[in-house]
Amino acid sequence: MHTASDSHRSAPIEKNDAKRSNKRKRFNAKETNGEATELHSKGGGHGEKARWRTLFNFTTKQHASTLLLALTLSLASGIVVPIQAVFLGRIFLAFTSFGATSLDQSEFRDEVVKYCVYLCALGAASWLVDGLYFTSWLAFGELQGQSARLKLFSDMLEKDMAWFDLRKNGIGALLPRLQM
């Protein structure tokens, strides 16, 4: 015999199953030319994750130089931390050598000052490289956005007028309703 508490316990499980089946019905993801595409229903939401190649769908040959610069500066920016670790290691080596009395005070000071100057130069170079790195990726993103907008606009210009009139959402669907 079922009690009220038993039916209360099974309700969340049934709700979760219903949510999963609704999600399956709502989204139909399919594979086209090796790239993931989503077919959304009215409800919106998330389908399959896009592949990393889709980031470059709007890349043209003119964008290659900006992309190459951004990738090169990314590598240069990533090298800063290992170089910093080497310099800090040399400073700590000087400390241990001074503690083991293999370096006198003036040699120790000269060694630490030398690597501190290197760290300051590395910091200045890192500031410059990181600024250029962020700027180049920003420029590449803007080029991608411009390319996407131009492609969308040119595709919209090629549509027949009937396509705009048959839209269920947007300004094309709103205007006839307002005119009534």
Dump pLDDT digits (tens) for 33-68: 444 444 444 444 566 787 888 777 888 888 899 999
- Higher pLDDT: 28 or 71? It is 71
Q: Give pLDDT, residue 136.
A: 96
Q: Is the pLDDT of residue 90 over 80?
A: yes
SS3 breakdown of the chain: % helix, strand, coil, rounded to 5? 75, 5, 20
* Phi, psi (rounded to 5 degrees) for 46: -120, 135
- pLDDT grade, residue 10 (50/70/90)? very low
Both tokens assigned to 19 = 């949510």
The CATH superfamily assigned to 61-180 is ABC transporter type 1, transmembrane domain (1.20.1560.10)
Tell if the pTM clears 0.75, that is, is over it: no
Residue intervals of the chain classified under CATH 1.20.1560.10 are 61-180
* Phi, psi (rounded to 5 degrees) for 82: -65, -35
Q: How many CB atoms lie within 10 A of CB 83?
A: 14
